[in-house]
Each structure stands twice: as structure tokens, then as C-alpha cells.
Chains A and B, each alone.
Chain A
Amino acid sequence: MLLEVADLHVYYGNIEALKGITLGVDSGEIVAVLGSNGAGKTTTLKTISGLLRPRSGTVTFNGANIVGRSAHEVVALGLSQVPEGRRIFNVLTVDENLSLGGYLIRRHRDLQRKRRDSVYQTFPQLAARRKQLAGTLSGGEQQMLAIGRALMSEPKLLMLDEPSLGLSPLLSRLLLKIVRQISNQGTAVLLVEQNARQALAISDRAYVIETGSIALSGKASQLAADERVQKAYLGGYEAVS
């Protein structure tokens, strides 16, 4: 396994947000993490990427335990997180945002330019806005920028936290199709989504988190057919949105 998370316990003060999460991602896979608001999806990603420290449990990436490493060191190992809510640098230009995504290769300008060009190929909409301040982009473009920025470090594993948040169904379908493409090019993906139907459609496997624990896991196609999943996460979703 490329990523193995075992029995992760994470606290905010005295509140236990993760109560023993265990999950894994293999190279080449897209793995979805589903769950309702406050279930602990973001907390899981932040702990894997080193922004949060677990009280106990291990995170093994590419064979090495990475618990206790700083977030910037984790990126260097090939694990990149697209944070919830995009968190792009709104006062910097699109180009500058991408350059920061390639901060680790900042001394290799040619390589940086090559990767930037390949991001612009993946997201042609961004190419026309290179010199524009990122804060002036539309929501969909900002999400593309957030993903493009994370791709600049050429991660082995890309973690996405609700990339379709706030986007139209059409746009989120497009975005998830691009995620599929990225995965086809050899990047493993850990995808947190509330849009369960679309997420399951592009994933190989999935986990369902409920109040800090894994409630269900299995093949994406099986979960999509599972009665409990249909009732809690698929039924009526499109109608509500």
C-alpha cells in the first residue's frame, strides 16, 4: 500500500474527533471518503498531511511512518493536499500561486515552467488568466487553481477535500472527470466528498466515516448499491441541491 493509516486518534482539546480511523490507498487507486458534516473527513486529511498531530496511531507513506513530520516535509515526500475551501493565495497571481505549488523545485526554473505548462494544459481556463489575481477567479477556476497548485509538486498521492463544494453539478462532474484523468496518469487519489454519487462513480474503493470512526468500507460499486449508503448519502441528494 502507498498510504496506510492505522488506528488514528485525534483530539481538539478534550474532544476526540477521530476515534481510531484505519484506511489505505494503493498506487493507482482513487479512494473516496464519504461522511456527513462534522464526521471527521477534514481532520483525517489534515492529520495525514502533517497539519495536525494525532494522539496515537500511525500514518505510513511509501513505507515510512510520517507521524510527527512537519507538513512541508510531508509534501516533499510526495503527498499533496488540496485543502477544503480552496485556500488559494488570493492576493497573488495565478502564475505565482502555481510557482508556490512548486516551491520545492524553486531552484529548477525550467522544471517549474514545464510543470506549470502541463497544469495549464490540464486546465486551459487558467492559462488565459496567468497574470490575474487569484482572488478574482470564479469559484470553479479557484478550485482548478487549487488542484493545479497541488500538482506542481508531482505528488504520488493527491488528497482532495471536497473539490466540488459550492460548484454547479455540471462543473463538479467536469472537475471529477479531470481527477479521473490525473489518476490515469499515475497519481493515486484520496477524495473526500459529500457529493457521494459522483465520487463513487469515479472511485475504485470508498470509506464512510461517521462521528470519527469508519462505518463502512468496500468497493465503490458495492457501496453505491448498499442500502445504508443509498439512504444516508445518495437518496435525495440531487433533489436537495
Chain B
Amino acid sequence: MGPFLQYTINGLTVGSFYALVALGYTIVYGIIRLINFAQGDLTVVGMFLGWSLLTQFGIRLLPLPVALFLAFLIPMLGTAVTNVVILQLAYKPLLKRSLLAILITALGASLVLQNVVRLIFGPQIQAYPDIVPLNGFGIGPAHVSYLQVVLFAASILLMLALYLFTQGTPVGTAMRALAVDHDAARLMGINVDRVIQIAFVVGGLLAAASGVMLGIYYIQIQFNNGFLLGLRAFTAAVLGGIGNIPGAMAGGMIIGLLESYTAGYISSKWQDVVVFGVLILVLVIRPMGLFGERVAERM
């Protein structure tokens, strides 16, 4: 029983990062039925933007809260803009064509982002500075670092904000309407192109938020991290029922926990096997996700 609590705490921390990336997948999918494969690489773009701010631009000399705030805010704006540029240049011209064409374009966007990161920041592994002290407190036999608490709390706050946005604001409601019927939304006076752009802004903000968190937590980062990260988050989104916002949050947590338990009780080498085994199982047995039928259309 001893290590179980520790594995759970670690799993929830990582799971909250996955949840943020999964939300990016799910929001875009809900609106234009596109699996935006670039989401994982966009996260890595944010990760490297945060890294370069902290290591090359002297942000660390500022007081810690200010430094952290900027190290999140600037990359988030950066990936939001990047995501909208990808939308306008690559996806928008194809929106009325076949879904397959956009899907392949998304794979292309993923490769482009990955290689741009490689060109700018190099192929080698880089390290985040350890700006947040690693001390913490104990819960029984388990150790919780303050870093874990802060990152977990920040993720939950972001998710809460997103939930309130989609459920409580006119634009958020319009997003949920787009998941049902674009033409009917147009007849309400909704500028559909604008709402799609807003969804990509949200997806971009989430990407860098999770990217910087992952960097701070894992320290080591590399240009090609986005591939596996994207697949894991995609699995989380599918697990929760792609298009379903609360589902993506839960899916992320479940994937984080699964990974942590596998690493703890079996071996970290088996993590990916378990995660992608779950993906295959869900797709075969319950393609609408864990949370009931309506998830396919419910955001």
C-alpha cells in the first residue's frame, strides 16, 4: 500500500498536463471534426519558448512569481498566434473539402512545427533551469513537492476557467452549437469563422501552458517530444470521448495514473504499451469513449 499513494500523486500531476493537451485536441475536434495532430508539437513549441525565456533572456533575475508568470504568458500567446496562423494558412482553405485532406495537412503541420523547433533550438536535449525549489511535505509515506502542488493547481484552474468559458459565455455556447450544426449556427448570426479562430486560440493557449509545465516538471526537453506526448494526449481525448470537454480532463488524469502505476508496479518500459493498448481497446470496444453515447457530439 505504501508506494500506491506516491504513484497516485505523481500520476495525477502528469495526468493534469495530459489533460490540458487533450483539451486542445477535443475542442478543435468538437468544432471542425479535425484531429489536430499538430497539438503535441505545438506544446513542444511552447515548451521551448518557455525554456529560452528562462535560460537566455534573463527572466530568471526577476522575482520568482513574476518570472513564472512571464514564462507562461509569453509562450501561451506565442502558441495561440501560431495555431491561428496554421488554421488560416493550412486548414481554412480545406475546411469545405474532404476531412482526409485536412487530416493529412495536420500531419504535415506537425512535422513542420517539429522541424522548425529543431532548426531554431537544435536537435540536442536541453534542460529547464530548476527555478522552483524541490522541497515539499509528506502525506503519510508519500512525498509531495510544492512544485507538484503548484503545477497541479494551475492546471485545475485552467480547466475550470475553460469549463466556465464553454458553459457560461455566449461564445462558449456558440462553440458547443458548432459541434452540432454549422449552418444552423450561421442562421443565429454566429460568425462561424470567428468562433473557429477562437477555438484555435484556446487550443494554442493550452498547448504552451502544458508545455511549460512539462518542461519545469521533467527538466529535460527535446524537439521531438511532441510525437509521443501528442499520442498520449490523443489517447486521453479518445478515452474521454473525443469532443467531450469534461471527458478530456478525466481521460488525461486516467492516462497519467495508468502510466504512473505501470512504471511503479511493472516497469517504465511498459508505459507506452499500456497506454496504447488502452487506445486500441477503447477504439475497438467503446469508440464513443468511457462517458456514454452522447459524448460524440457533446462538448
Contact = CB atoms under 8 A, between A and B. Distances in A.
Nearest to B167: A96
**Majority secondary structure of chain B interface residues (helix, strand, loop or mixed):** helix
A75 B192 CA distance: 13
B266 interface: no
Contact of B190 (A81, A88, A91, A100): A100
A23 interface: no
B176 A92 contact: yes
A153 B189 contact: yes
Contacts of B170: 99-100, 103, 106
Contacts of B189: 72, 75-76, 103-104, 153
Contacts of A101: 188
Interface stretch (B127-135, B147-155, B179-187, B220-228): B179-187
Nearest to B193: A70
Contacts of B191: 70, 72
B184 A83 contact: yes
Contacts of A80: 187
B186 A51 contact: yes
B177 interface: yes
Interface residues of A, number: 27
Contact of A87 (B184, B190, B298): B184
B183 to A, nearest CB: 6
A142 B176 CA distance: 18
Given A87-B181, A91-B179, A70 B186 contact: yes
A150 B297 CA distance: 23
A149 interface: yes
Contacts of A51: 183, 186-187
A81 B170 CA distance: 20
A89 interface: yes
B174 interface: yes
B289 to A, nearest CB: 15
Contact of A89 (B181, B186, B192, B294): B181
A76 B294 CA distance: 32
A91 B297 contact: yes
Interface of A: 49-51, 70-72, 75-76, 80-81, 83, 87-92, 96, 99-101, 103-104, 106, 149-150, 153
21 contacts: A50-B186, A70-B191, A71-B186, A72-B186, A72-B188, A75-B186, A89-B177, A91-B176, A91-B180, A91-B294, A91-B299, A92-B177, A92-B180, A96-B176, A99-B170, A100-B177, A100-B185, A100-B190, A104-B189, A106-B170, A149-B188
Would you list the 3 A-B pairs with minimal beta carbon distance, nearest first? A75-B189, A106-B170, A71-B186
Interface of B: 170, 173-174, 176-177, 179-181, 183-192, 294, 297-299
